[in-house]
Amino acid sequence: MDAHGRRTFLQLLAGGSLGALAASQASPVLRALAATTAPVAASAKDDFFVFVHAAGGWDVTLFADPRNEKRGLVDPATTDNTDVRDLRLWVDAPFDGDVKSFQIVQPKGCAIPFGPGIGGLVDHADRICLVNGLAMNTVSHPDGAAYASTGRHLVGGRAPASSVDTMMANELSREQLMPTISLDFPSFYVGDALDRRVVPLRIGQVGTLTRILHRPTFYQTSGDRDAIGKALADEARELAAKADDAEVFEGMALQYEGVRRMLGEKLEEALSPAALKKAYPELDGKAKLHGARALGLSFAAEAMRRNLVRCTSLAFTGFDTHASNYRQQARLQQEMFDLLAAFLQILDRTPHPTRAGEKLADRTHVLVVSDFCRTPQINLAGGRDHYPTGSAVVISPRFKGNFVFGKSDAAQLLPAAARKFQDGTRAIAPPDLLATFVSAFGANPRAYLRDGEVVPELLRA
């Protein structure tokens, strides 16, 4: 094993003390793990990933692809169909008599025109890479969610490819204590080519993890548990020394040590909902529409700060506004983007756990997607239905900021040609975005994606 890979593995898997322990042993499992690790850009080895799914299909005309005029099929948001009371960025614009639409939100220096749903995230426009006019080619929730996260449509109702969080975990997170945690994100693990350690741990809520880590105090002490863990780690090492195939036993020895570390650092307390709310009050856990989901971002921040989880993926829900609940679609967006803006501020001030002098923001990459968007017309129930266009938000030091790519048709909101691809001039589609995302970290997109073409225009030079 090369020294670099081995050191990385030790640092990530088990922390300093365990690293010293394992470094003293010429371990076959370490060599094997390094041998199976795909080559990635060395500079990406300390990076973190947060994937967000706006479940239900968001209305892009309210934030990413703003429309405030009646044109073609487009019925814009107006004071008639939208509850604007709590929308901070809504400024009336003339529409039809007393009925008002909104003014485009575009602060000075901002190259991206936003709608009022962008909320607090507009303050971070300089780091937003916005992709509009994504050709989703579907109006089915399960299909759209899978297409956005995997780059493939469902086949027979099943995802035929792994999701982007699994891809990145396979590239960069195999040795992490918790490779990838999925909080209701459309996470998939497909095929035999990926490392089984990166199968997403899908949990419904943050509390599930803390319950797993909870240890009662009525029976045994933490010292007892530590003694048991040490005995088992020693036992596994001795079995490894006698085994024909030592890798599995050596891996278990390191994992026993990892559990000791998890319990020793009292992660159960640190990752409990109460502790997360206290540690990150700016991620408003009492927010009216997404309060419970704010915990997912708090968890991501704390898990990254402690270097526990490489990929955290989560879902915000409630965007499927077919009826008069459409009135709060803009507020749903505003709250979600407010939370993301607060999350970015946390990353800005939090030191990176392994890179001295750097902040988490320097090494964290956020991708926000949705199933599709909503129809340009308002339906008879006062809502908007499903429409096969999409947008995506990328916030990453590796992607251009203050940049928008792709567009939709002015009159019909359908994806418009964005550039010439190898298969002709067409709109950008989720496989292109995912291929670009994966390639940004030195990984080979073809290892994960059947379709898609890297769009270098999205990336920083």
**Residue 266 interacts with another protein (CB under 8 A): yes or no:** no
Taking the complex as a whole, the smallest distance from the CB of residue 412 to another protein amounts, in Å, to 34
The number of residues in the chain equals 461
Of 22, 18, 20, 11, the closest CA to residue 45 belongs to: 11
- Is position 242 an interface residue for another protein (rule: CB under 8 A)? yes
Tell the smallest beta-carbon distance from residue 119 to another protein (Å): 30
Residue 447 in the binding site for another protein (CB under 8 A): no
Give the one residue of 99, 248, 274, 447 binding another protein; rule: CB under 8 A: 248
Strand 386-387 and strand 99-102: the pairing is unpaired
Binding part of the chain for another protein, among 53-61, 248-256, 271-279, 404-412 by CB under 8 A, reads: 248-256
Conformational region of residue 389, where left means phi above 0, alpha means psi within -120 to 50, and beta covers everything else: beta
Out of 80, 83, 123, 235, point to the residue binding another protein (CB under 8 A): 235
Give the x-and-dash track for 138-177 against another protein (CB under 8 A).
--------------------xx-----------------x
Strand order in the sheet with 389-395: 201-203, 178-183, 309-316, 48-54, 364-370, 389-395, 128-135, 403-405
If binding is defined by CB under 8 A, does position 448 make contact with another protein?
no
For residue 177, give Cα distances in angstroms to 75, 117, 169, 270.
49, 37, 12, 16
CA-derived radius of gyration, the chain? 23
- Determine, following the binding rule CB under 8 A, whether residue 178 of this chain makes contact with another protein: yes
Q: Residue 48, SS3?
A: strand
CB-nearer residue toward another protein: 136 or 252: 252
Question: Is residue 446 a contact point for another protein (CB under 8 A)?
Answer: no
For position 17 contacting another protein by CB under 8 A, the verdict is no
In three-state secondary structure terms, 429 is: coil
Whole-number Å distance between alpha carbons of 246 and 238: 10
Name the helix (H) or strand (E) containing 374.
strand 373-374
| Close Cβ partners of 226 (under 8 Å, ≥ 6 residues apart) | 260, 263, 264
Smallest separation, CB 347 to another protein (Å): 24
288 binds another protein (CB under 8 A): no
CB closer to another protein, 32 vs 41: 32
Q: Which 181-220 positions form the footprint of another protein (CB under 8 A)?
A: 186-190, 195-197, 199-203, 208-209, 211-220
Given the rule CB under 8 A, which residues bind another protein? Answer: 158-159, 177-179, 186-190, 195-197, 199-203, 208-209, 211-221, 223-225, 227-229, 231-232, 234-236, 238-239, 242-245, 247-249, 251-252, 255-256, 258-259, 262-263
